[in-house]
Structures are given as structure tokens and as C-alpha cells.
Amino acid sequence: MAWNIEWRASLANLGTMVKYLSISMLVPLFVAVVYSEDIWVFLLSIAITAAAGFALEQLEKEPDLGPSEALLLVSLAWTTASIFGAIPFLLGGLGTESTIGLSLESGSAAVSSIVNALFESTSGFTTTGATVLGEISLERHSHALLLWRQLIQWLGGMGIIVLMIAILPELAVNGAQLMQSEAPGPDLQKLTPRIAETARALWLLYFGFTVLLVMILYGLHLAGFAPKMNLYNAVAHGFTTLPTGGFSPQADSIAAFSAAVQWAIIPFMVVAGTNFALFWHVLKGEAERLYQNSEFRAYTGLLAVFTAVLAAILFGGAAPVLEIGGPTEGLAENSLRHAAFQIGSLLNSTGYANANFAQWNQSAQIFLFFAMFVGGSAGSTGGGVKVVRWLVVLKAIRRELYTTAHPEVVEPVRLAGTVVSEDAIRGITAFTMLYLILFGVGAVFLGLDAGRAGFDLTVLEAASASLATLGNIGPGFGRLGPFGSYLFFPDSSKLLMTLFMWLGRLEIVPVLALFVTGVRDR
């Protein structure tokens, strides 16, 4: 295996990305000014990030990206963004009791704090939403820092690379290759002849939905339906709903807000898990494309069925005594709202909570766990295996059974009448298998690592931690529940989960392709 990669070209482009990342830090800086908080954290972060960006850019004046360089760029972009994104956490928590602030007490404490900050930042950019914060509160952390946590999820949602293609003309040449490596789902859909316009269209849609949600949330506040949903909270939750992120500056997530807010967020979570290309077609006046799309039909169908089943379970009394969220037994509105919210949140990997589902009974928990395997749609901001892959896998299995009885039958797998090529089926089956294997291996590793470190980790906790990070979902079960934290894991486990979030966001293949073959000759 020869590494004939023009790595300088990749790194120089990376430098450009880092430079732009420093600009995005102006947002929390502005918030710090507004709330009269410490501005040095972000000024320093901006300086470090911008300097690093400029330095990297000097490696190659006219970077020329081939397919291998593109793959390297995409893989590195997410780690690099996570690393620089962690700087404000480290600086902001310096000298405080924050679990993600840089600790200088001892060598191992410093390492742990850096691992924590990296975990939190990766969880942000990959829109996972798993946290290692010991306590989420505006008393403990500044408004600016918690908003940064929300903002990086928003940046990661539609894709850092897609954003770069949208704004950097020089990336457009290899844009399709770049987007293919980053975009969730098995296929890249070009909406316009020029890839940069496609990227811009997707980001505009994403931006539009975000603005709409912020306006609705703040509107509810002004109308008196949501006392706690002030402008800061409205923006913060707008930032993490559309990317299926799940971070919240509130310790009790969406349970902190009124039922009206919860109902308002549900449709936006559904939108976030939908292929954004479909909305583009709807805006073009082809609304029928939405319901003709077999993935969208399956996705909404699954949401409806899962919600109905969970609502029935909750109505039957699966949530006996709850600290947060309130009882559901025999309460129709509560049951339905909790079911719709939690399925809308977990099926497509958002990770918000409006009740502590980790305290629901076994039947409800195992059902939610099952829902987590589904994932969003291809071309959405959601994580997981993706609905379209499950559709193809199930149809391929059905065909396998049929041809066992009739060996001569030749039958293609179809999605809404369109034939799925055998190559695509092989790729999708391999991906799904790999996903399940990684999930299993991850759970075992976390269990063994917990044993080594000498603390108790239940099977459900280990399994849900593996799945919640690989699928970019966020919360798990037990102590990893929606209002819990991943803080108690040893550093080694946190690093594995950081890797999992990265693998999950890039859908495993580009990253593994880097290490296996693919990137050989130019």
C-alpha cells in the first residue's frame, strides 16, 4: 500500500476550513459581549484557530484535489474541526469546575480534560448530542460557551464540507467527490448541474427551516405559551433541532419547556430526518416527489407506527413515577406527546428528551432502543443506518427467500420502481453489516473497559452507549439517559466513542477506505 497522496493539498484546504471556523467563533463572541461575559476565551480561540488555518494554507499555494486527497480532506476535516472546536471548551473551563475545561492539576487530569473537551466537541460537530458535562447550567457555564456547543452542531448538521463547497468556488471541481464522501446515505443527489449550487440550495433550505423554527419558538414565548423559551433558548434549540443534534443549554432538555414548545419541535425533528433534496423539489413545485419517494413513505410510516405503539405502551403505564416528564398512565395527550416526541427524537438520531425515558419500564426502553437502529433518511441530517438502507436490505432478503424456492427467477430490487443496482445492494449490505459489527464490538469493548476500570456498567448501558455514539444519537439508557452524562467512562472508552461518532457521521466507509485501500495511486 503506497501512500501516494498529495497530502499537502488536503492540508492546505483544511487550513481554509479552519480559517472559516475561526470566523464562526464570532457568534459566541458576540453573545459574550451581549451578556457581558468574559470575551477573552473566544478572542483567544479565534486567534489560535485563525493562525493555525493560515499556517496550514501556506503548505500549498494552489491545492489540487484528486479523489484520494478529497477522501483524506473529508476525513480530516471532521477531526480537525472537532479539535479546534474543543479549544473554547478547554479555555472556557480553565480554572472552573467544568468537566470539559482544561485541568492543570496533574498530567492525567490534563489528559482527561482534553479527552472530555474533544468528546464534547466531536459530539457537537457530528450532531451526536452525547455530553460529558457534569452539570449543564448557565450558572456553571457562560451563555457564549453553551451557545458555541449548540452552534457546532448546526455547522456539522448539513455538513462542513457541503458548506465549504457552497462558499468556496475552488472546491467545486472535485465537489461531487467530496460531497459523496460526506453526505449521509448511499447516494449523492445532484439537484443542479453545478455542485456548488446544489450545496448552496441544501444549506439555504437548512438555514430557512432553522430560522422558521426559531421564529415559531420565540413567537410562542411572546404569545405567552412558553415562558422559558426566551430568544437565547429559541436560537439555541433552532441550532440543534434541524441538524438532529440534541444538545440543549437546559439540563432537562426539552422537558424544561411547555407542551406547546414540545409539539412545535416534533415536526421539525421529522423534517430534519427527511432527505433535504425532497424539500428542494417541493419548492420547485413538484410536491408529488415527496410522497412518491419510497424512503420518505417508509420513514413517515415508521414514525407513525412506532409512535402509535409507544403511545399505547405509555398509556398502559410504562412511565410510572418520573422526576421529569410527568405520568402518562391513562393520560392520552401526555402519552401521545411523549411517544411522538421521543420517537421523533430517537428514531432519526436527534436525542432530545421531554421525559426521562431511562426511567420508563423495560418494554418502553427496549422499544426505544429498537427505534434507534432505524436512523434518518439519506440526504438528511440524521445519523444511523438510514431508512433507505434498511429498505434495500429487507427487499434483498425477501428476494433471497423467494429465489431459494425458485432458483431460476431473476428479480431486481426496486425502490419506487427504480432498479437498485447489484453493486449498490452489495455496498449497502456491507455497510449495514459493518455498522452492526461495530456496534457489537463497541458494546463489548465498553463493557470490558468498564470492568478494567472497576465500575459497573449494565448490558443495556454498554449497548446503548455504543449505538448512541455510532448512530450519532446521543442519549442512551441507565445512567446515560437523556439527563445523564457520559462523564464517568474511562478515557479509553471516551476515545473509542469519539472515534465511533466520527465513523458514524462519515458513514464509516470513507474513513475505513483511507486505512484499507482506495487511496493508492493518483
Tell me if 262 sits within 8 A of 341, measured CB to CB. Answer: yes
Q: Which is nearer to another protein, 114 or 392 (CB)?
A: 392
Only segment of 96-104, 372-380, 403-411, 487-495 that touches another protein (CB under 8 A): 403-411
Single out the residue of 169, 227, 412, 440 in contact with another protein (rule: CB under 8 A).
Answer: 412
Q: Which is nearer to another protein, 362 or 404 (CB)?
A: 404
Interatomic CA distance for residues 409 and 398, integer angstroms: 13
CA 33 from centroid of its chain's CA atoms: 29
CB-side neighbour CA atoms (13 Å) of 246: 39
Q: How many residues bind another protein (CB under 8 A)?
A: 9
User: Given the rule CB under 8 A, which of 34-42, 203-211, 359-367, 408-416 is the region that contacts another protein?
Assistant: 408-416
Q: Which is nearer to another protein, 4 or 403 (CB)?
A: 403
Distances (CA, A) of 472 to 127, 342, 500: 6, 15, 9
Amino acid at 130: A
Q: Determine the 3-state secondary structure of 223 from DSSP.
A: coil
* Binding piece for another protein, criterion CB under 8 A, among 57-65, 222-230, 407-415, 427-435: 407-415
Taking a C-beta distance cutoff of 8 angstroms, is the pair 298, 309 a contact?
no
Q: How far is the CB of 409 from another protein (least distance, A)?
A: 5
Q: What is the rounded distance in angstroms from the CA atom of residue 385 to the CA atom of residue 388? A: 8
**Residue choice 62, 406, 456, 517 for contact with another protein (CB under 8 A):** 406
**What is the contact mask toward another protein in residues 139 to 178, using x (rule: CB under 8 A)?**
----------------------------------------
Q: How far is the CB of 419 from another protein (least distance, A)?
A: 5
Say whether residue 411 binds another protein (CB under 8 A). yes
Asked if 416 touches another protein (CB under 8 A), the answer is no
The amino acid sitting at 93 is G
CA distance 251 to 430: 39
Query: Is 417 near another protein (CB under 8 A)?
Result: yes
x/- site string to another protein, residues 263 to 302, per CB under 8 A?
Answer: ----------------------------------------
DSSP, res 380? S
Residue 332 makes contact with another protein by CB under 8 A = no
In whole angstroms, the minimum distance from the beta carbon of 418 to another protein comes to 10
Cβ of residue 407: shortest distance to another protein, in angstroms? Answer: 9
Contact 512, 156 (CB under 8 A): no
What value, to the nearest 5°, has the Cα angle with vertex 479 and ends 474 and 482? 40
CB of 402: closest distance to another protein in angstroms? 9
Dihedral pair phi/psi, residue 418, rounded to 5°: -90, 135
* Nearest distance in Å: CB 413, another protein: 10
Q: Which of 26, 34, 419, 459 binds another protein (CB under 8 A)?
A: 419
How many CA atoms does the CB half-sphere of 409 hold within 13 Å? 12
Contact region with another protein (CB under 8 A), list: 235-243, 362-370, 412-420, 514-522: 412-420
Asked whether 155 and 125 are in contact (CB, 8 A), the reply is yes
- Long-range contacts formed by 333-337: CB under 8 A, 24+ apart: 333/259, 335/311, 336/307, 336/311, 337/259, 337/262, 337/263
223 versus 410: smaller Cβ distance to another protein: 410
Smaller CB separation from another protein, 400 or 408: 408
- By CB under 8 A, name the binding residues for another protein: 406, 408-412, 414, 417, 419
